[in-house]
Structure 1
Amino acid sequence: MAQRYSKQEKAKWLDSSSKPKRRSPLRILESENSALIAENKFTLLGRVTNPQIQRPRALVEYMVQYWNLENRVIGRELGPERFFFRFETEADLQLVLKKAPYHFKKWMFILQRWEPIVSEAFPAFIPFWIKVNDIPMHHCTELTLNTIGQALGPVIDKDLSDGRIRVNINGLEPLEMKIPIRLPTGEVTTVFLEYEKLEKHCFSCFSLSHEEKACPLKPLVSNKESRIPGINQEKTLQNLEDGKRRQDARRSNWPARREEVPKSVEGPRGKEHFNSRRSDHREKSDYPSAYSHRHREPRRDFSPQDCSRRDYSRPASYNFRRDSVRSGFDLHPHDRSHPRRIACDEEIQSSSHNLVSGRRSQHLPSSRDLLG
């Protein structure tokens, strides 16, 4: 009879024990948190738009120094995308928001005042100053600007003289570069939006989170020659070119800065005087040293026979003024009156004479013979 297999053995279905268990959400009881809400009333919550390039920790450290608020603000990262800044006063917080928008590593980042809400879409708004171009002159009114601004987002401020509006733009969605409008006369025209302080973005879908080469909505066959870049794209390319030119200028000036000598080293008479004094000090030094050029003896080539003439039976001494541990000779090379030194010199000369004449000494003198 054929053997029968169970459903688990046939792998026709997965055992319920192997499935990952989904834990139900834990319920957090309501507690008193008014103190925490009051503590964060001067807090800005931020988010990077390109996490692959921007790092929240590096951004926090840089912006605190950029604002010159090292002792008046606390910043911290909240994961791979979010971070926060907690200020001491409302004035510092408003000063930072007034100068927005900001960018880090050529990419925009979001900075919004903290609110006691929990949402994946918070923070999201970037306050952009937007210049509206190609509005008919006889229709460039405050009502027209306000209508265009409300179609983009909450309007913060208006500048009628320059045709600008400040709007909270959702930085998590692609930007709008142009808007068709219908005039009171029934005519339809298109106005173009120019975003101030806009840095890198996708030139295809106008998203702030990636470049054009990484755009998921980019067509498979794109004709770059037929596409004319808009105002914002031209400004972005110009900003990138200016930044690269400044960086090259700093690199070219760096070798010249390294060659400069600090004033503390140069002194009142310059670097050459310092080097000449240092060299003169070395040449005029009268300190009796074994490494001094004035007391150095000519170099001699010792034969293997010379090694046997060293006195290893004598106890070693580590005193500078007595015999050397290594050679058994006096460390003062100029002292030629020592009897052991005289005997050694005579033996070296006789050995050298035998080697030159082709004769080999049959008897190696011992240390007792050298001492006489």
Structure 2
Amino acid sequence: MKLLCSNTKNLKISTMNNNNEEFSIPINLCAQASQAAQFSLLVRPVNPRRQNIRALARFFPRLWGMDDIVTGWVVEHGRAQFLFPSNEAMNLVLKRGPWSFNQWMVAMDPWHLNVPNENPIMINLWVQIRDIPLQYLSVQMVNYIAETLGIVTVRATEATLGGNNEFGRVCIYWPLYQSLVFERNFLFGLDSATVTFHYKRLRNHCFRCKSLQHDVADCEIPEEEAANGHQDPEPEDDMIEELDLTSANNGHQRSEITSRSANPLHRPCILFSSSLTIFSRSS
């Protein structure tokens, strides 16, 4: 009995002394794991109180019509990871963003080596810039105003200006912790005007402080201290895009990926430099 206790004590000491020992992982196993993760997206819910991360990981592959080729699971730091069979399939999802879950937006970025734990923290938001005085409406003016909002990832070109255009459409790489801006005053020479910003496919946000990360019921800013009481615009028809991506369209989605396999896809805003188009209201 005494000998058994002595051996157990020695085993515990040996285990403690080996805590810092490094174990080598076979190189081929490391390469296999990296290969599997190279076409993957990290997704972060902007409002974890309203967005169950496990349900999100199960739901998105079905929403994309890729439930038989995309695998999703929960990873550390409040994120989900989705593995795609190809760069083409992954970029198809990014191109069709931004995405939402349970009526709240999600941040989404491709995985890469040594990605920070806090990533993704940005959302590609399509913004209509409206109410620029007609005498000042130009591609250059739209781009200038867009730059006051943040990082512009889709800009204007002269070729897109013409016809009965009433607003500019840009893509902004928006930090999820930054409050939305719905209007801003500009001085055009001696002429003052209020330019408004309409976010396409925007879901819920705080109508008091304009945060993307919480509902007004959870807002810590007193109502009387909230900014200028501006009323957010009514939701537009294209804000319900995700309802068009149900499992009933799975076959169409898969055939679209297959048919495009020989052609490069346009990357999403932050990954691919594209051009801004100026749209009329009928667009």
TM-score, normalised relative to structure 1: 0.49
In structure 1, the residue matched to 2:202 is 198
Query: CA contact under 8 A between 1:205 and 1:218: conserved in structure 2?
Result: no
Secondary structure (helix, strand or coil) at the match of 1:192 reads strand
Percent identical across equivalent pairs? 26
Within the alignment, does 1:235 sit opposite 2:235 as a pair? yes
In structure 2, the residue matched to 1:319 is none
Structure 1 residues 146 and 41, CA, compared in 2 at 3 Å: closer, same or farther?
Answer: farther
For residue 66 of structure 1, the aligned residue among 40, 63, 67 is 63
Alpha-carbon offset, residue 80 of structure 1 = 6.6
Aligned residue identity for 1:235: P
Whole-Å separation in 2 of the counterparts to 1:97 and 1:147 = 26
Whichever of the two has the greater Rg, that structure is: 1
Aligned residue identity for 2:143: N
Write 1 or 2 for the structure with the bigger share of strand: 2
Secondary structure (helix, strand or coil) at the match of 2:148 reads helix
Alpha-carbon offset, residue 41 of structure 1 = 2.5
Whole-Å separation in 1 of the counterparts to 2:42 and 2:154 = 22
In structure 2, the residue matched to 1:213 is 217
Aligned residue identity for 1:181: F
Alpha-carbon offset, residue 82 of structure 1 = 0.7
Whole-Å separation in 2 of the counterparts to 1:116 and 1:93 = 17
In structure 1, the residue matched to 2:275 is none
In structure 2, the residue matched to 1:141 is 138
Alpha-carbon offset, residue 90 of structure 1 = 1.4
In structure 2, the residue matched to 1:252 is none
1:137-163 alpha-carbon deviations (Å, 9 max, x no partner): 122222122222233233232465541
Secondary structure (helix, strand or coil) at the match of 1:152 reads coil
The ranges of structure 1 where at least 4 consecutive aligned residues each deviate by more than 3 angstroms after the TM superposition are: 31-39, 158-162
Within the alignment, does 1:131 sit opposite 2:152 as a pair? no
Query: CA contact under 8 A between 2:104 and 2:204: conserved in structure 1?
Result: yes
Whole-Å separation in 1 of the counterparts to 2:82 and 2:144 = 34
Query: CA contact under 8 A between 1:127 and 1:166: conserved in structure 2?
Result: yes
TM-score, normalised relative to structure 2: 0.64
Alpha-carbon offset, residue 188 of structure 1 = 3.9
Whole-Å separation in 2 of the counterparts to 1:145 and 1:38 = 42
For residue 45 of structure 2, the aligned residue among 45, 48, 71 is 48
Aligned residue identity for 2:196: F
Query: CA contact under 8 A between 1:51 and 1:80: conserved in structure 2?
Result: no
Structure 1 residues 168 and 227, CA, compared in 2 at 3 Å: closer, same or farther?
Answer: closer
Structure 2 residues not aligned, in runs of 5+: 1-19, 244-283
In structure 2, the residue matched to 1:175 is 180
For residue 84 of structure 2, the aligned residue among 84, 87, 101 is 87
Structure 1 residues 141 and 37, CA, compared in 2 at 3 Å: closer, same or farther?
Answer: farther
Aligned residue identity for 1:180: N
1:4-37 alpha-carbon deviations (Å, 9 max, x no partner): xxxxxxxxxxxxxxxxxxxxxx9x99x9767655
Q: Which structure would you say has the larger RCO, counting Cα contacts within 8 Å and 6 or more residues apart?
A: 2
Secondary structure (helix, strand or coil) at the match of 2:235 reads helix
Whole-Å separation in 2 of the counterparts to 1:58 and 1:116 = 26
Whole-Å separation in 2 of the counterparts to 1:151 and 1:117 = 31
Q: How many residues align?
A: 208
Secondary structure (helix, strand or coil) at the match of 1:148 reads helix
Query: CA contact under 8 A between 1:171 and 1:208: conserved in structure 2?
Result: yes
